[in-house]
Structure 1
Amino acid sequence: MAVTDTAARIHAAFAEAGGTGWLHALDIDSGAQIDAGADQPVCTASVHKLCLLVTLHELAASGSLDLGEQIECPPAGRTAGPTGLAAMLDPVRISVRDVAYLMMAVSDNAAADLLLRHVGLDAVNRAMTRLGLTRTHAVHTFGELFATIREDAGPGGAQALTDPHVITRLRALDPARTNRSTPRDMTRLLGAVWRDEACTPEHGAAIRRILGLQVWPHRMASGFPFDDVHVAGKTGTLPTVRNEVGVIEYPDGGRYAVAVFTRTANTAATLPAADAVIGTAARIAVDALRAS
C-alpha cells in the first residue's frame, strides 16, 4: 500500500472517531516511516513526561544525579491530580527513581513536578536540544499548565470546560504557548531510547522498562491485542486532547516508534472512540511498515 493511501486511511479513522489527528510512525531499525501530519506542532500534555524521564537518566548517566537519592514530598504544595503522589494525603519519602516510575506508570502530576523542581525545565530543554528535537520545548511545569487552564476557564471553573468557546481560549491547547513537540520529534526520541543513543545502554534499558509499565491499555495498546506483541508508551490528556507515543515490539524483532496526537470537537471527558482511534491509527501505520 502506498504511503499516501496509508495516511489517508489514518486521517479517515480520526475523522470517523469525531476529531482530527497527526501521526508519525518509524521503523526503528530500517528508518522506514509513515507521515500523517508528522511535522504538525502539537501540545504534548503528559507526553512531555517522557522528555523529563530521558533527562533524568541522561543526568544520572553523567554522574550529576543519583536516582537512588531520597526526596521528601510533603502534602502541602503538591500538584493536583487523580493518581500517585497527587492523590496521597500523607508525607512521603521516596527515591528519585520511584518518583519517575509514578510519573510514567500512572501519569502522576505531583511526581512530575517534584522531579522538575529537582532538575529544572532548562535541563529538560537542553537534553532535547542535544538529541536534535528542535521543535520540542517545555514552557512550564504541570502545576503551571493547570493554573493556566483554571485562569482561562474563568469563574465557571471545570464546568466551563464543556463550552467550546472556552476551549478555544485555553493557552494549554495552543502549541505556541504551552509544552510542545511534533509527532516526528517524538518518534525520534523513542528511536534514540530504543537504540541506546539517548544515554547509556543501562539507562536506556531502565527507560524502556518504565515505559512498559504504563497502566493505561485503552489507547495505543488497544490496537495490538496480542500476547506476544509488547507496547510501551506514555499518554497525554487535556480537554479535547488525547495523545500517546510509544514503541510496538513484535516477536520477530520488529520495533516501531509511533506518535499519535489528537483533538476532538466533542468536549466530553469520556469518549471511548477518541481513545480507541489512537490504537487504530497506530495499527494501520505499523501494518503498513511491516508490509513494506
Structure 2
Amino acid sequence: MNVPDATDRIRAAFADAGVTGWLHALDLDSGAQLDVGADQPVCTASVHKLCLLVALHERAAAGHLDLTEAVDCPPDGRTPGPTGLAAMLDTARLSLRDLAYLMMTVSDNAAADLLLDRVGLETVNRTTARLGLDATRAVESFGAMLAGVRQDAGPAGARALADPHVIARLRALDPARSNRSTPRDMTRLLRAVWRDEACTPEHGAAIRRVMGLQVWPHRLASGFPFDDVHVAGKTGSLPTLRNEVGVVEYPDGGRYAVAVFTRTAHTAAVLPAADAVIGTAARIAVDALHHR
C-alpha cells in the first residue's frame, strides 16, 4: 500500500462514518509519515491532559515537585465529570502520580484540574513551547472549558446540545478560543515522549506506562485487536468532537505515533461509527508506514 492509496482510504473512511477528520501518523524511528490535514488547528479537549502530564513530569524531573506528594481532594468545588474523582462523593487523598493515573486512564477532569492547580497553565505552555509545538496552546482549565459549554448552552442546559445552532456557538469547539493543537504537533509530542526527549528516561517510562493503562478500547485501540500489538493513548471528547492520540507498538519493534481528530454534524452523544473510524483510520495509516 502506498501513501496516496492510504490517504484516499482514510478520507473515504471518514466520509463513510459521517465525520470530518484530520490525521497524522509518524514512524518514531524512521521519521516516515502520513498526513491527512495534519496542520489543521483542532480543539484538543481531554487530549490536552497529555500536555499536562508531560509538564508534571518535567517539573518532577527538575526537582520542583514530588510525585508522591499527597493532595486532599474534597468534594466541594471539584471539576465535574462522569469518571474518577469527578464522580465521587467523599473526600479523597491521593498522590500527584495517582491523580495523573486517574487523569489519563479514565480522563478524570477533577484529577486533571487538581494537577493543573499544582503545575499551572503557563508551565504547560512553556513545556510545549520547549518541545517545538508551536501550534499547541493551553488557554483554560478543564473546569473552565466545561463551564463555558454550560454558559454557551444557555438555560436549557444539556438538552440544548442537541441543537446544531447551539453547538455552533460553543467556544469550546473553536480552536481560536479553546485548548488547541494540530495532529502533527501531537505526534511530535508523542515522539518526544517515546524517545525520552521530553523528560528523563525514568519520567518518560512513567508517562508511557500510564498511557498504556487507558481503559477506553473503542477508538484508537479498536483498530489493533491483537494480543501482541500494544496501544497507549489519550482520548478527548466534546459535543460533536471525538479525538485520540497514541502510540502503536508492533512485536517486530515498529513504533508509530498517531493523532486523529474528528468532528461530525450529528449532535448525538453516542455515535459508534464516529468512534470506530478513529481506529480504522489509524490502522490504515500505520499499515501504510509499517509496510513501507
Letter in 2 for 1:119: V
2:34 match: secondary structure:
strand
Taking the TM superposition and a 5 Å limit, the aligned residue runs for 1:246-265 are 246-265=246-265
- The whole-number CA distance in structure 1 between the counterparts of 2:258 and 2:234 is 11
Aligned with 2:20: secondary structure? Answer: strand
Letter in 1 for 2:98: D
**Deviation readout 1:121-180 (Å, 9 max, x if unpaired):** 000000000000000000100000011101111111100001111111000000000000
Matched residue, 1:178: 178
Aligned to 1:163: 163
Aligned residue in 1 for 2:149: 149
Structure 1 runs not aligned, ≥5 long:
none
How much is the aligned-residue C-alpha RMSD, in angstroms? 0.6
The answer to whether residue 50 in structure 2 is matched with residue 63 in structure 1 is: no
2:29 partner letter: D
For 1:271 and 1:9, the matched residues in 2 are separated by 21
Amino acid at match of 1:174: D
State the TM-score, normalizing by the size of structure 1.
0.99
Aligned to 1:228: 228
Rounded to whole Å, the distance in 2 between the matches of 1:91 and 1:152 is 31
Amino acid at match of 1:249: E
Q: TM-score, normalised by structure 2?
A: 0.99
Tell me which residue corresponds to 1:208: 208
How many residue pairs get aligned? The number is 292
Distance 1:237 1:101 in 2: 18
**Partner letter of residue 203 of structure 1?**
H
Q: Deviations over 1:206-260 (max 9, x none)?
A: 0000000000000000000000000000000000000000000000000000000
Deviation at 1:11, TM superposition (A): 1.1
In 2: Cα distance, 1:251 partner to 1:151 partner: 48
Give, in whole Å, the separation in 2 of the partners of 1:125 and 1:21.
Answer: 25
Letter in 1 for 2:134: T
Residue identity in the other structure for 1:186:
M
- 1:91 is aligned to 91
* SS of equivalent to 2:260: strand
1:195 counterpart residue number: 195
Structure 2: how far apart are the matches of 1:285 and 1:2? 10
Q: Distance between the aligned counterparts of 1:251 and 1:119, measured in 2?
A: 36
Paired residues for 1:14-29 under 5 Å: 14-29=14-29
Deviation at residue 4 of structure 1 after TM alignment: 2.5
Secondary structure of 1:140's aligned partner: coil
1:7 Cα deviation after fit: 1.3
Distance 2:175 2:128 in 1: 17
One-letter identity of the residue aligned with 1:242: R
1:244 aligned residue: 244
Which residue of 2 is the match for residue 34 of structure 1? Answer: 34
> 2:247 corresponds to which letter in structure 1?
V
In the alignment, what sits opposite 2:82?
82
Residue 169 of structure 1 aligns to which amino acid in structure 2? R
Query: Alpha-carbon deviation of 1:119?
Result: 1.0
- Aligned identity (percent) is 79
Please identify runs of 4+ aligned residues in structure 1 that moved more than 3 A: none
Aligned to 1:6: 6
**Cα distance between partner residues in 2 of 1:108 and 1:170:** 22
Query: Match of 1:38, SS?
Result: coil
Distance 2:39 2:8 in 1: 16
Distance 2:185 2:70 in 1: 32
